Amino acid sequence: MADTSYGYPGSIDAAGLAKWVPNVGAAQYFVTGANDAKVTLGSGDRGVSIRSGTVGGDGILDIFNGNTNLNLASVGSGSRWDMLVCRRTWSSTPGASTSNYTIIQGSATKGLPARNNNKGVQSDQPIALCRVTAGQTQVQEIVDLRCWAHNGGLYAKDELVKGYLDEPGTHLTIGDKTWIRTVSNGVSSDSVAWVEAGGANSINLYNRGSQMRGNPSVSGTQGFLIQAGESFVSTDSNGFGKITWPTPFPNGVLTVQLMSSDDTLFNDANLVIPGSNWGAAPANKTFAVFNVYGASGGIRHKDWPNKTLRVTWFAIGY
């Protein structure tokens, strides 16, 4: 059980107010420090350990001074995903309300099981999702469901947190992506949905052009991603080369620019990306295929098959 809790009936004094207000006003759920409530392997069969620290949710700020060890139940066959939560139970009697870490058994599906969400009565704050496997005495996988909220930002590690941080207006950064919980403009009723915004690695273009054929449209709030580099490429017998992006673009490529970096060999080489009807899937989210040839006076005069050349490239994707 939490050693100290602020926000329950009879729990706030002048000293506690300074800790309580700045934290619980930041977001509905949060932990404060990088390692607060971090879940690691614990002792005993299928044991997990929840580290000490400060955890907040639904207007309550809980401080756990020591680590908490929990043991998940075995599973007869296959695997099961169980969720660790901080369970808060309110009482109108001062001092009788409680905050405890507990386990909600899930299913074979990797997802958040149903939880208590009756604020002011009993509610569960997701902390981690753990996979137990038949015949194994150790937890096989731990998914971090914590989030951090301070100074106007909300950050988490795994997209599964979108399953419980789902209030309209939420701005959530997960890794290098930023998501906004938006509200539609329906005729008779509105609905909510997650929309990806420009993340930490993305840029906004002044005006988005059309994408290459076969690639999906970009959401109006989504930014674009840039990769650039220099590669040594060997052409095949037909003078075709291929560059594979260091990191695949999530959806596709808006534009690619290729330049020969050699100033002594291939100084008349032109690098041209084939049209979208070619079977090599040019300029897709994983790679670009191009043809190398030389030209003189605007007239094509020589292919460059079975050669190695240095190519500088610049790609904008989404």
Q: What is the pLDDT along the chain (318 residues), one digit of tens a residue?
A: 999 999 999 888 877 888 888 888 888 999 999 999 999 999 999 999 999 999 999 999 999 999 999 999 999 999 999 999 999 999 999 999 999 999 999 999 999 999 999 999 999 999 999 999 999 999 999 999 999 998 888 999 999 999 999 899 999 999 878 889 999 887 788 989 888 776 566 666 655 554 444 444 454 445 678 899 998 988 888 888 888 889 888 777 778 888 888 765 555 666 766 654 444 444 578 888 888 877 656 665 667 788 888 889 988 887
For residue 279, the model assigns a pLDDT of 44
- pLDDT for 109: 96
pLDDT score, position 280: 44
- The pLDDT of residue 137 is 96
Q: Note whether 101 and 68 are within 8 A (CB).
A: yes
Q: What is the pLDDT, as a whole number, of residue 78?
A: 96
Strands 171-174 and 153-156: parallel
Residue 83 is encoded by which pair of tokens?
A: 């969720």
Q: How many whole angstroms separate alpha carbon 37 and alpha carbon 85?
A: 10
Tell me, what's the pLDDT at 46? Answer: 97
Phi, psi angles (nearest 5°) of residue 19: -85, -35
Q: What is the residue type of 68? A: T
Check residue 255 and give its pLDDT.
80
Domains in the chain, start-ordered, CATH in brackets?
4-149 (2.60.520), 225-317 (2.60.40)
Q: Give the global pTM.
A: 0.70
Burial classification of residue 101, based on how many CB atoms lie within 10 Å of its CB (0-12 exposed, 13-18 middle, 19 or more buried): buried
d(CA 39, CA 130): 9
What is the pLDDT at residue 264?
A: 55
